[in-house]
Structure 1
Amino acid sequence: MLAPERHELILRSLRRHGRLRVAELAAELGVSAITVRRDLAELDSAGLLRRVHGGAVGTSPAGRSAPGSQLTIGIVVPSSTFYYTDVIRGAEATADRYGARLVLGVSGYDVAVEQERLEKVLGIGVAGLLISTALGDGRADELGPRLDDIDVPVVLMERAFGFPHVRHEYDHVRTDHAYGAMLALRHLVSLGHRRIGVNFNASVTAHWLRQGIAQAAKTLDVDLLISPVVLPARGEDPDTIAQHDAFLAECEAYGARAVLVHSDEHAARLVERAMERGLRIPDDLAVIAYNDETASLAAVPLTAVCPPKLMLGQTACELLLRKLKAGPGRPAAVQHLSLLPDLRIRASCGATMLDRI
């Protein structure tokens, strides 16, 4: 069967069903899935249908092909609260500026739920996708095949997957968390601290923080206590108190009078427990938190490393929309963008004279 004949049958089937799936079309036409995808791409370029994940739909006001229609893009994130609140807000503001519509999916850090959300968002017929996966960079091999199956432009947020885990490079925008760790340690060193305790919660961010901490320790020539103690963010039960006490005891034995704690909630509760034990903040223990979501609301306002969350959403969305506006005939170079966090200095560790100027 020649291509023009297949195209006519495809369009006829689309008018009849309203939506097409690659697997079903391949079986109906007796050709390979690759041939069907190529046919759909040609029909998409001609404005006769709109390719979506796994197939195609007709051109509609929600899509990207109809002249004057509103562009629709998807954003799938692990959470809609705390860290990702500002990321979503930034993406939404940029989409609005471009006259585009943003469709949100939230995975709750569950890989199975994430796949469901992806299917639903892609099923709407979005023109492109912003995604911060439930899987961190250290588990990229688990995500690669699923990412490569997405047949609309993708921009990764706070993730940096690449070869050999995926077939080709993806645009990504991420915070340079390693630089954030360096900022924190450099400030503590400027205050005279040479032995520093470090505690990270089990998170995707910790993957990059550990790399930054290791490099910063060498550059600044400081001694670090990387604690295995799991700090709770809240709670008053004896086990919770014991965990805080264990970390404080480690720091005392090591001679560390300054700590870097990820995240704000963990650092805030640690400060409360330290004060209950008679420690003065920051005289006896200087504390820097990482994330700066609720750090300023702690009993002692926490100095904190602040990732550029709002800008991250804005930058990722703008990168995707520019690609979509350029069209498939003008492919842009893949971009890997890193944004630098800054340090918000508050009462929990004090400022140098230079900081006060």
Structure 2
Amino acid sequence: MLAQERHELILRSLRRHGRLRVADLVAELGVSAITVRRDLAELDTAGLLRRVHGGAIGTRTAELPARGSQLTIGIVVPSAAPYYSDVIRGAEAMADRYGARLVLGVSGYDSATERERIDKVLGIGIAGLLISTALGDGAADRLGSRLDELDVPVVLMERAFGFPHVAREYDHVRTDHAYGAMLALRHFVALGHRRIAVNLQATVTAYWLRLGLETAAKALGVEVFLSPVDLPMRGDDPGAVAQLDAFLAECESFGSRAVLVHSDEHGARLVERAMELGLRVPEDLSVIAYNDVTAALAVVPLTAVCPPRLALGETACDLLLRKIQTPTTPVQHLSLLPTLNIRTSCGAADPHLR
């Protein structure tokens, strides 16, 4: 087959699919990968397509893809619960601005399921992948070479994997949760609290919150007690009342009237139980929640640290799409700062902390 014939077939396939993979073209054209890459390089030089890692995409000077066909990117997250649903919505909004399509996979915090979801979206022919893995940063080595095997650009969300766990550096966008913990402690100090009790879920976020609490406590000169009690998510959980009472007893023993709780559900239930026991919120117990998904809907609206969930999805998707368009873009490690939304559960508002 002559080079010009191959070029015509490549461009026809590009119009049909919106993106090309070298492996697919090798099978379709019956030539070597070296030949395909040379053809793509020539077409890129001519401005008829744009080469990307593992294949090629269209450019503004190339013919438009066939009707109903558009650039497709994948997004794999550990949960579709409210936190990640906002991240997904942000990514979807940004993809729409680029005229791209988003395909979702949910792993349920299971590594095997995650691999299946990645393979599924790759099979669709995605041009790039947004992923928040089921594993935290400390367990990156359990991913093995899976990320390195992907032949499309990858942007990590709320995760940061690098050498020696993976062979190459990856773009990532994450929330600075350590800063979020500092915001909470700083507000408590502004309200006069010097002893602060903390209860954290056993999540990936907990590591960064503990780091931020340790740093902020030293800087602010306050005492922090990190409770080992597992708080219930719902009031009907077995042992819920006993767990809540145990934590409140710890707070009393520590001499703390200020509590940071991760997450909103725990904070809301804690406030309800405290009031059942005759405590006044915020006069007897001042509460800050972390996540701010449902904090405003609590019986006593909760002051809460709010990670920039929508902005995180938007930023990560924008970074990925720019990487697809220009593969030579330098790798970026971006941190987004959370904010503190002050409500009734703390009893005072400091305009400087908004």
Scaled to the shorter chain, the TM-score interval is: 0.7 to 0.9
- Structure 1's unaligned 5+ residue stretches are 30-34
Q: Distance in 2 between matches of 1:125 and 1:83?
A: 27
The aligned counterpart of 1:249 is 249
State the alpha-carbon separation in 2 of the partners of residues 39 and 205 from structure 1. 47
Structure 2 counterparts to residues 156-195 of structure 1, below 5 A: 156-195=156-195
Report deviation, 1:350.
Answer: 2.2
My pick for the range that moved more, 250-259 or 40-49, is 40-49
Q: Distance in 1 between matches of 2:52 and 2:122?
A: 6
Q: How does 1:175-254 map to 2 (within 5 A)?
A: 175-236=175-236, 239-254=239-254
C-alpha distance in 1 between matches for 2:190 and 2:322: 42
1:72: Cα distance to partner? 1.1
Letter paired with 2:285? L
Deviates more, 1:343-352 or 1:292-301: 343-352
- What is the deviation of 1:68? 2.1
Q: C-alpha deviations, 1:154-176, integer Å up to 9, x for none?
A: 01111111111111110001000
Identify if the C-alpha distance between structure 1 residues 51 and 352 changes in structure 2 by more than 3 Å, giving closer, same or farther: closer
Structure 2 CA distance for partners of 1:135 and 1:44, relative to 1, 3 Å: farther
Distance 2:215 2:283 in 1: 27
Give yes or no for contact 1:52–1:123 (8 Å, CA) kept in 2: no
**Cα drift, residue 52 of structure 1:** 11
User: How much does 1:237 deviate?
Assistant: 5.5
Cα deviation code 1:246-266 (max 9, x no counterpart): 111111000011010000001
How far apart are 1:239 and its partner, in Å? 1.1
CA distance in 2, matches of 1:41, 1:149: 18
Alpha-carbon distance in 2 for matches of 1:91, 1:113: 22
Q: Distance in 2 between matches of 1:347 and 1:258?
A: 13
Range with greater deviation from structure 2 (77-86 or 293-302): 77-86
Alignment of 1:240-319 (within 5 A): 240-319=240-319
1:266, 1:47 → 2: CA distance?
57
Q: Secondary structure at the match of 1:117?
A: helix
RMSD: 3.2
Amino acid at match of 2:133: T
CA distance in 2, matches of 1:230, 1:309: 25
Change (3 A) 1:355 1:301: farther
Q: Whole-Å Cα distance in 2 between the matches of residues 349 and 290 of structure 1? A: 14
Do the aligned partners of 2:282 and 2:346 also contact (CA within 8 Å) in 1? yes
From the superposition, tell whether residues 81 and 352 of structure 1 become closer, same or farther in structure 2 (CA, over 3 Å): closer
* CA drift at 1:290: 0.3
Q: Distance in 1 between matches of 2:50 and 2:128?
A: 12
User: Measured at CA, do residues 104 and 238 of structure 1 come closer, stay the same or move farther in structure 2, by a change above 3 Å?
Assistant: closer
SS of the aligned residue for 2:224 comes to strand
Q: Structure 1: how far apart are the matches of 2:114 and 2:148?
A: 15
Give the drift of 1:235.
Answer: 2.6
Q: Measured at CA, do residues 170 and 250 of structure 1 come closer, stay the same or move farther in structure 2, by a change above 3 Å? A: same
Helix, strand or coil at the partner of 1:232: coil
Cα deviation code 1:288-336 (max 9, x no counterpart):
000000000001000000000000111111111112122x4xx011000
Q: TM-score, normalised by structure 2?
A: 0.84
Amino acid at match of 1:218: K
Shift of 1:46: 5.4
Q: Structure 1's 174 and 129: CA in aligned 2 closer, same or farther, altered over 3 A?
A: same
Q: For the Cα contact (< 8 Å) 2:342–2:349, is it kept in 1?
A: no
Distance 1:125 1:257, change over 3 A: same
What secondary structure is seen at the aligned counterpart in 1 of 2:304?
A: strand
- Counterpart among 339, 344, 353 of residue 342 in structure 1: 339
Unaligned runs of 5+ residues in structure 2 are: none
Q: Read off the aligned partner of 1:198 and give its amino acid letter.
A: V
Using the aligned pairs only, state the percent identity: 68
TM-score by length of 1: 0.83
Q: Specify the SS of the correspondent of 2:345.
A: coil
Paired residues of 2:176 and 2:336 also in contact (CA < 8 A): yes
Deviations 1:170-218 (A, max 9, x none): 0001000000000000000110111000111111111211111111111
Give yes or no for contact 1:191–1:352 (8 Å, CA) kept in 2. no
